[in-house]
Homo-oligomer: A and B are copies of this chain.
Amino acid sequence: MTRPAHQSVTIVDVAEAAGVSKSTAGRALAGAAEVSARTRDNVVRVAAELGYRPNQVARSMITGTTETVGVVIPEMSNRFFSAALQSIARTIRKHDYELLVSSTEGEPALERRSVEVLSTKRVDGLIVAPVGGADADHLRRLTEIGTALVLLDRPAPKATSASLVSVNNIEASRLAVDHLIGLGHRHIGIISEARPDSAPAGATELEPTAHWPSTLRLAGYMRAMTDAGLTVRPGHIAHSAYSSAASYAAATRLLRATPPVTAIYCTDNVLSAGAFAALQDSGRDCPGEVSLIGFDDHEWAPLVRPRLTVVAQPTEVIGITAAEELLAAIADPTRQPATHLLPARLITRDSTAPPGRAAAGG
């Protein structure tokens, strides 16, 4: 009775036990209409008794599909990505797809590896938040071989035929800056991961980094300032690496700038915490002396004092939209790629107020 098979009970076992051919067994299990109710019930019962588990790998071999989508992101513990992942998961599950997820730690080499491996595993489509600047051959390759691709959060230079789902970064910054300007601020500092020179004359360049969120947010800041007739001062643009600690240092620098800033706009969720801590430790009154705007709505934004005003991304909608766009692309390979630039929202709390107001005490 020994059998070197990989699998305990196959459809052949079920067929034999039910006294039918494996084709009939297969049809019965698939709920095909052409099989008589009697034999179908019998087959199903026998399958249950035997503990038969269909083998999706074998099925994929034939159908050429895996009912699986891949997601490649820099980091899954990042709030933005974990929230996006959650809504992607929920959306695709409704369509009976599963999620193969790979995190790249922000490393281009790992991103390429992930995309290749998932492709090798024959995912039906891929959502990727690319990090690998200029080199996007691995993404272009996907569209060449006909794998559905949706870009999340940021575009990729060469992946022209992929859809993009992201917040409207330019407008997000405008929201923040206009709010501050409306309050009367004229000296507004910004903490950005982007290098000040990466967004020189706007955000329409074709440079590798020109369309990254941080670059666009910086560009949006510059544009909003300019449109309001305010001067964009290099000394008010603080570059920060992508960490809370770096942001702390950047904010500290900004607080010593001349002319002094009366407000700081923080362009990323991991940078917000560091900036807030720096402002707190500086002893400056917020919002009395310095206003602060964070990016992304955190659980803690209403918990700290002053409660933090933020520019919130529609994270959930972004995830849902990316998933739906991908499912649509899988269902219809001729579908044209679309760009979804979702609107951000300003959530006004207590960390922003008119400038020059002394601490009211108490």
Contact = CB atoms under 8 A, between A and B. Distances in A.
A57 B121 contact: yes
A317 interface: no
A226 to B, nearest CB: 33
Contact of A120 (B56, B76, B120): B56
A51 B142 CA distance: 11
A100 interface: yes
Copies in the complex: 2
A98 B110 CA distance: 13
Interface stretch (A160-168, A272-280, A334-342): A272-280
Q: Which of A68, A79, A100, A141 has the most CB of B within 10 A?
A: A100
A61 interface: yes
A45 interface: no
Contact of A300 (B101, B110, B303): B303
B98 A117 contact: yes
Given A55-B122, A82-B76, A145-B51, A277 B303 contact: yes
A249 interface: no
Interface stretch (A83-91, A213-221, A284-292): A83-91
A241 interface: no
Given A120-B54, A121-B98, A273-B299, A75 B66 contact: no
Interface in A103-121: 103, 105, 110, 116-121
A14 to B, nearest CB: 15
B61 A58 contact: yes
A304 interface: yes
A53 interface: yes
A103 B92 CA distance: 11
A313 interface: no
A200 interface: no
A60 interface: yes
Interface in A64-102: 64, 66, 68, 75-77, 79, 82-83, 85-86, 89-90, 93, 98-102
B103 A118 contact: no
A308 to B, nearest CB: 9
A260 interface: no
B90 A86 contact: no
A300 B270 CA distance: 11
A56 B99 contact: no
A102 B100 CA distance: 9
B76 A122 contact: no
A101 B70 CA distance: 10
Contact of A93 (B79, B102, B145, B276): B102
B300 A277 contact: no
A183 to B, nearest CB: 23
Given A51-B144, A77-B86, 7 more contacts: A58-B61, A66-B121, A77-B83, A98-B100, A98-B102, A273-B303, A304-B304
30 contacts: A6-B63, A7-B64, A51-B141, A53-B119, A54-B120, A55-B120, A55-B122, A68-B100, A68-B121, A76-B82, A76-B85, A76-B86, A77-B83, A77-B85, A77-B86, A82-B82, A82-B85, A86-B103, A90-B103, A90-B105, A93-B102, A98-B102, A98-B117, A98-B121, A280-B303, A298-B299, A298-B300, A299-B300, A300-B303, A304-B304
